[in-house]
Amino acid sequence: MEAPELVALLDGRRIAVLTGAGMSTDSGIPDYRGPDSPPSNPMTIRQFTSDPTFRQRYWARNHVGWRHMDETLPNAGHRALAALERVGVVTGLITQNVDLLHTKAGSVAVVNLHGTYAQVVCLSCGYTMTRAELAAELESMNPGFIERAEQVGGIAVAPDADAMVEETSEFRYLDCPHCGGMFKPDIVYFGENVPKDRVEQAYSMVDGADALLVAGSSLTVFSGYRFVRHAAARALPVAIINRGPTRGDHLATVKLDNGCSEILALLADELSPAISAC
């Protein structure tokens, strides 16, 4: 393990962190592109908005999947980053994940770059509803659906709270109660742009730090990769922890081909005393 080089790079520095789906694999949520990940085709915004059958299938699967995500607990990596924030080492955290596990672990300065699974929004009027409120409505419209789905076998939940459910043709989903418009999870789908104010907040986090740490992201999509490019352009050290190659490896000062939990827990042990003693 090359962790000493990573510790030496980050020691005494204020760190902005960017996390991806690999951050949550130890919590039981598979990532999209890791070497051991099952095949997965994430939702695109065009698929969701153009095809009622696709929306029906999505809401049926999400009706099952979001509950499993809501019950998922943070792992040692999430807890380590929260601990580093409490002692002033981590100054801000940008996550591409929608699972809220950083918040559950106690991190406060978090930019949820792609939104979270916990809210839905009307694409016509902007009305929002919590996912729990929507779940109650969907349950009354589809009594017993979850129980039937879970009887088929184990539920595999993707990073966007989608779950593998085979029979969805009878599922009834809800349109906006205010205007009748299309409800969508308040998540940035593939093909959508991250809101500009969210991007600017994330850039500010990087600008206010002395180093950028990437944990569990292949940086395949530009929404995360841009912050690595930004840090490198400002001559900030960039450290990457990820299983397998990433798009930003050529910009990394240190790259560890590892899972996140063990390395981040080590960083919390090694870096916290140095900061708290200052």
Annotated binding-site residue? 177 = no
Annotated binding-site residue? 248 = no
Whether 243 and 24 have beta carbons less than 8 Å apart is answered as no
Annotated binding-site residue? 97 = yes
DSSP string computed for 4-68:
HHHHHHHTT--EEEEE-GGGGGGGT---SSSTTPPP----BHHHHHH-HHHHHHHHHHHHHHHHH
Question: 191: closest CA among 223, 237, 234, 151?
Answer: 223
Whether 21 and 32 have beta carbons less than 8 Å apart is answered as yes
Annotated binding-site residue? 125 = yes
Annotated binding-site residue? 175 = no
Annotated binding-site residue? 242 = yes
> Could you tell me the CA-to-CA distances from 100 to 158, 239, 253 in Å, in that order?
14, 23, 29
CB-based burial of residue 28 (10 Å sphere; 0-12 exposed, 13-18 middle, 19+ buried)?
Answer: middle
Annotated binding-site residue? 31 = yes
Annotated binding-site residue? 237 = no
Rounded distance between C-alpha atoms, residue 67 and residue 118, angstroms: 10
Annotated binding-site residue? 218 = yes
Annotated binding-site residue? 245 = no
- 114 counts as catalytic: yes
Which residue among 114, 178, 230, 250 is the active-site one?
114
- Which run of H or E residues covers position 216? none
Annotated binding-site residue? 243 = yes
Strands 183-187, 115-122: pairing is antiparallel
Rounded distance between C-alpha atoms, residue 114 and residue 126, angstroms: 17
Annotated binding-site residue? 35 = yes
Q: Which residues are annotated as a binding site?
A: 20-40, 96-99, 122, 125, 176, 179, 216-218, 242-244, 260
Q: Which residues are annotated as a binding site for NAD(+)?
A: 20-40, 96-99, 216-218, 242-244, 260
Q: Which residues are annotated as a binding site for Zn(2+)?
A: 122, 125, 176, 179
Residues marked active site are found at: 114
